[in-house]
Amino acid sequence: MSAPSARPTDTELTEFRDRVRAHVAEYAPPFEAREGHRAPEDAGQETRLRTWFASLFHAGFVGGDWPVEYGGRADHHPLHDRIVSEEILRARAPRPVDQVNLAAHVLLQFGSDEQKAALLPRIRSSEHVWCQLLSEPDAGSDIAAVRCRCTAQPDGSWVIDGQKTWITDGHWADMGLALFRTDPSSSRHHGLSAFSVPLAAPGIEIRPIRTINEAIEVNEVFFDGVRIAADSLIGAPGQGWSIIMAGLDFERFGIGGNVILLELLIDDLVTVARHGRIDDMPALQHEDIRHQVTDLAVEVEVAKAFIDDHVERMVAGTEQTGDGSIAKLSFAETYHRVSAYGAQLSAMVCTVASDPGVALAKQRLKECWLWSRAYTVSGGSSEMMRNILAKRRLQLPTR
C-alpha cells in the first residue's frame, strides 16, 4: 500500500465527503442494498453493480490506497476510506465486494509485476469480480485444515482436485483467490499455496446454496482435474498460509469498518419501538423495552469508538496486534444482538398497515437478523477471533 499523505484538515475532509456524497447520489444503482441479498438477482442488476463499482475506482474513492502506479491517489489518507464507507452505507447503496478488496491487497503485497499488470486493471474496471476459495467441508473456519489439492505438472502448470464450500459470490465471480495444499505430505498450515483461479476454467462446477433469507449468496465449488497456468501461483510454493492470513487481517478490519450498519440498525429499531404499539401504547414507553434499546445503542457506540480509535492509531502508525480481529468480533456480535432483538420486537408490536416506514424498518431488521450469523462465521468465526486474540494479543499459553 502507498504511504499515507499528510492528515487532511477538517475543511478538506468536509469537501471530500461532499464529493463522495454527490458521486453516490449520481451513480449508485436505483435499488437499495439489502443485507443477505448482496449478490445480483439478474443480469440487469449485475451490470448496474459492476458499473457502480467501476465508477468508485475511477473516481478514486475505492482503491485510493493502492500505489499510484496501479491507480491509487497520491493524496490518499485512511480517513478518506472511512468517509467513503460511511457515505455508501448511509445512502443504503451497494457496497463494494469485500473479496475484491482482499484479492487486490494480496496481489499488491505478494503478486509478481506480471500478475499486477494483468489483474489489477480488471479489478478497477470491474471486469473481474473475485471470491475467496478458502473454506472446505468438515473444516469450517479452520482453513488450516485444507485438503483440496493442487499438483504441479512437468510443464509448470497446476492441476486442482477437491471441493470448497460457503463461497460468497462464487456464482457470479470471475476469479477466485484460493488456498490449496501443494505438498501432499504436509499438514495444517504447512505446504499450502495461494493461487488466482479463473472460475470459467474447464472442470469447475459451481452449485449455489440458497440461504435462510431465500437468497443465493454462497456456493459450493468443485474442482475435477482443473488445469491452471504456472503464473497462477501467488508468491512462493508453501507461502499460502502467511499470504492468506495477511489478507484476512485486512478483511477483518474491513468488516468491522462497516460499523455504520449498526447505526442504521439502531435507527430501524427505534423506528419500530417508537411507532409500534404494545398494550395500546408505544413500545418505547415500556420500561423494559426502553432499557433494552438503550443498552444496544450503547453497545453500538462502543463498537464505533474502537473503530475510531483504531483509525487514529493506524494513521499514527501505532496499531496493535489483533486490532482487526477485535473490530471484526465487535461488529459481528453487536450486529447479531441488535438485529435479533429488532426482529423479536417487530414480531411483538402492532403497527399501522399503511405506514411504509415502519414496515420497511421491520423488514430490514428481519433480513439483518437472518443474515447476522453469517457475519459471525465469514472471514473467521467469532470463536476463531477470540483464539487469535488470546494467542497474539494476550499471549496466553497454548497446549
With cell 404494545, the residue in question is 278
Looking up cell 482436485 gives 161
Choosing from 251, 299, 301, 319, which is the catalytic residue? Answer: 251
Q: Are 194 and 243 in contact (CB under 8 A)?
A: yes
Question: What is the spatial distance between Cα 215 and Cα 54, in angstroms, rounded to a whole number?
Answer: 25
37 and 94 in contact (C-beta within 8 Å)? no
Strand partners, 180: 193
In DSSP terms, 218 is beta-bridged to: 209
91 grid coordinates:
445512502
Task: Determine contact, residues 338/266, Cβ cutoff 8 Å.
Answer: yes
Q: Is 32 a catalytic residue?
A: no
Nine-digit cell string for 232: 497462477
Cβ burial, residue 88 (10 Å; 0-12/13-18/19+):
buried
Beta-strand (E) ranges in 186-303?
192-198, 204-210, 216-228, 233-234, 277-278, 281-282
* Enzyme catalytic residues: 251
